[in-house]
């Protein structure tokens, strides 16, 4: 076969056919000017220039500016040929990585060079991707806290990462080609099942092993391994990942010990609580009996004096006795409220679906019947269904609505509202009034038993209603708070639990 120079003689029709039919870009350029003299169809298709555009260009125009000196140096006047890899620019500005085979020839009797170009962009990209992947894998292996190593099919160490070296205390160069069980200082029988499983192409996970580390500490390991395949898809070895579970196992044992201690303490506290409740029951019974008896005596004898000796008393004397009787009644009411508050704390919850709006409606109807002379506008939420104890929730709403009803008693156009709205996943309920309000300086006292922010002569009561409401809300896993201002009304807000909802009806 003739040489390339002869093969690309443009006067030879056969070789022009080869030139035109080549799937690789080919061209001939003038050595002196670097101007294109002829290009084939593949060059036109791949580079994007037309035939006429190519013939009006030089090699410099398809090369990055910084590559031009190297281009000039690669053109040998001696007539030698060479193979190089270059970056070429297409018409759209994108780059090609190419292998260039260049050889001297003549064109129309003048010195020229014939060039065959092979696009290796994808091969280069694949090599670069592989190199990056290998670098990333190397970085992962180096940074991994887990021990990662590979062994051959007989269990001899091939390589491992720094974490393995730190655990074992032996450099890889000393461990290479030694059996893994020897390196780890354990019996071959411990590793044998794992090696046998991997030889059959199976993976194993979380096999427990106990070894002595390079520092002599006992370490508890969890070993997982997967087969490595070689030629003809045969297992040539295994890749193992070893996690040091020592700290986790110790933490688990500590947790179990603490859990046992906690259970014991809970049992002790439960027994103490049961005893305290029994003692409280006795105290409540004692309070109910021992305090009520003298109160009944005070009230009874005071009444007897008024009935039997009233004619002998002046008006001041009668007034004093009536005050004594009224005080005994208030004391009796306080005892009832205190006992009721105590029972609320101890009573278990009996949950069911409850519509608070219906409860509120019934409470207001009762208040209207007991206070026929009052005209209070009451706005009620359409529906507010929660999962709770219906008896306690009625006590809760009764305390809050009666509180609003009481503190609007001196307001000409009294208004009480019960509303509910969503705040994220939480439902907030509100009892709002336009009554007497309160000074926010003393808001911390509002939900404490027997703490009053108004005088009894202004608004009667025992100071137990909001404390009761607070206890009930807490038993339902919620919270309660208040805002107000003197003469501008107040709003009591509360939540219950995550099961609270709006616009639902009991089923």
Question: What are the tens digits of pLDDT across the range 210-225?
Answer: 878 777 778 888 888 8
Q: What is the pLDDT of residue 341?
A: 61
Q: Which residues of 5-24 are buried (b: 16+ CB within 10 A; e: fewer)?
A: bebbbbeeeebbeebeeeeb
Q: What is the pLDDT of residue 41?
A: 93
In 347-453, which residue ranges form alpha helices assigned H by DSSP? 356-370, 390-407
Q: What is the pLDDT of residue 501?
A: 40
In CATH, which superfamily holds the domain spanning 4-125?
Answer: PAS domain (3.30.450.20)
- The two structure tokens encoding residue 243: 């996690």
- The two structure tokens encoding residue 38: 């002829």
Q: Which residues of 182-220 are buried (b: 16+ CB within 10 A; e: fewer)?
A: ebbebeeebbeebbebbbeeeebeebebebebeeeeebb
First vs last Cα of the chain: how many Å apart?
Answer: 97
Angle at 130 between CA 128 and CA 133, to 5 degrees: 110
What CATH number has the domain spanning 348-494? 3.30.565.10
Could you give the C-alpha distances from 191 to 204, 229, 241, 268, in angstroms and in order? 12, 20, 14, 48
Euclidean distance between CA atoms 478 and 470, whole angstroms: 9
Q: What is the 3-state secondary structure (H, E, C) of 32-55?
A: CCCEEEEECHHHHHHHCCCHHHHH
Euclidean distance between CA atoms 28 and 40, whole angstroms: 9
Euclidean distance between CA atoms 249 and 221, whole angstroms: 10
The strand pairing partners of 92, in sequence order, are none
Q: What is the mean pLDDT of the chain?
A: 81
- The two structure tokens encoding residue 172: 């890889």
**0.95 surpassed by pTM:** no
27-81 pLDDT, tens per residue?
999 988 999 999 999 999 999 999 999 999 999 999 998 888 888 877 755 444 4
Q: What is the pLDDT of residue 503?
A: 39
- The two structure tokens encoding residue 231: 């030629």
| Residue matched to tokens 């064109």 | 107
Query: What backbone torsions phi and psi does residue 250 show, to the nearest 5 degrees?
Result: -65, -40
- Whether pLDDT at 381 is above 60: yes
- Whether pLDDT at 260 is above 80: yes
Q: Which positions ≥6 away from 231 have C-beta within 8 Å?
A: none
How many other CB atoms sit within 10 Å of the CB of residue 492? Answer: 24
127-167 pLDDT, tens per residue?
877 778 778 777 777 778 888 888 888 889 888 888 888 88
Query: Range with the lowest mean pLDDT among 255-269, 395-409, 454-468?
Result: 454-468
- Whether pLDDT at 332 is above 50: yes
65, 76 Cβ separation under 8 angstroms:
no
The strand pairing partners of 427, in sequence order, are 422
Q: How far is CA 125 from the centre of its chain?
A: 38
144-244 CATH pick, 1.20.120.160, 3.30.450.20, 3.40.50.200, 3.20.20.100: 3.30.450.20
């Amino acid at each position: 076969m003739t040489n390339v120079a002869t093969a690309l003689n443009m006067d030879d029709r056969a070789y022009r056919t080869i030139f035109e039919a080549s799937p690789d870009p080919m061209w001939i350029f003038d050595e002196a000017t670097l101007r294109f003299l002829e290009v084939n169809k593949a060059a036109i298709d791949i580079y994007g220039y037309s035939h006429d555009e190519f013939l009006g260009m030089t090699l410099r125009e398809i090369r990055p500016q910084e590559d031009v000196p190297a281009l000039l140096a690669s053109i040998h006047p001696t007539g030698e040929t060479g193979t190089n890899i270059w970056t070429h620019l297409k018409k759209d500005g994108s780059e090609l990585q190419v292998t260039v085979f260049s050889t001297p020839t003549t064109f129309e009797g003048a010195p020229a060079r014939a060039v065959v170009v092979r696009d290796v962009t994808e091969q280069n990209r694949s090599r670069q991707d592989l190199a990056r992947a290998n670098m990333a894998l190397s970085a992962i292996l180096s940074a991994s806290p887990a021990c990662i190593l590979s062994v051959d099919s007989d269990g001899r160490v091939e390589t491992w990462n720094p974490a393995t070296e730190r655990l074992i205390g032996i450099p890889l160069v000393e461990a290479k080609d030694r059996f893994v069980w020897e390196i780890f200082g354990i019996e071959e029988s411990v590793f044998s099942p794992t090696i046998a499983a991997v030889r059959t192409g199976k993976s194993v996970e979380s096999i427990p092993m106990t070894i002595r580390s390079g520092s002599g500490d006992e370490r508890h390991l969890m070993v997982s391994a997967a087969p490595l395949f070689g030629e003809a898809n045969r297992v040539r070895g295994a890749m193992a990942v070893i996690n040091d579970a020592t700290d986790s196992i110790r933490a688990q044992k500590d947790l179990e010990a603490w859990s046992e201690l906690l259970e014991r303490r809970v049992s002790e506290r439960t027994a103490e609580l049961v005893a305290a409740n029994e003692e409280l029951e006795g105290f409540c019974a004692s309070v109910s009996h021992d305090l009520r008896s003298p109160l009944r005596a005070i009230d009874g004898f005071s009444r007897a004096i008024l009935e039997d000796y009233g004619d002998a008393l002046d008006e001041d004397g009668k007034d004093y006795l009536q005050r004594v009787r009224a005080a005994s009644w208030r004391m009796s009411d306080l005892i009832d409220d205190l006992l009721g508050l105590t029972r609320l704390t101890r009573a278990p919850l009996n949950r069911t679906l409850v519509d608070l709006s219906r409860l509120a409606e019934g409470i207001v109807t009762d208040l209207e019947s007991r206070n026929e002379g009052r005209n209070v506008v009451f706005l009620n939420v359409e529906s507010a269904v929660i999962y709770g104890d219906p008896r306690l929730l009625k006590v809760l709403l009764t305390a809050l609505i009666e509180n609003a009803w009481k503190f609007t008693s001196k307001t000409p156009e009294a208004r009480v509202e019960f509303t509910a709205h969503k705040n994220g996943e939480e439902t907030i309920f509100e009892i709002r009034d336009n009554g007497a309000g309160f000074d926010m300086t003393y808001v911390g006292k509002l939900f404490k038993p027997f703490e009053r922010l108004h005088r009894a002569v202004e608004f009667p009561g025992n100071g137990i209603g909001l404390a009761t409401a607070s206890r009930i809300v807490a038993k339902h896993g919620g919270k309660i708070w208040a805002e107000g201002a003197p003469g501008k009304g107040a709003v009591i807000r509360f939540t219950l639990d995550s099961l609270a909802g709006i616009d639902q009806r009991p089923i």
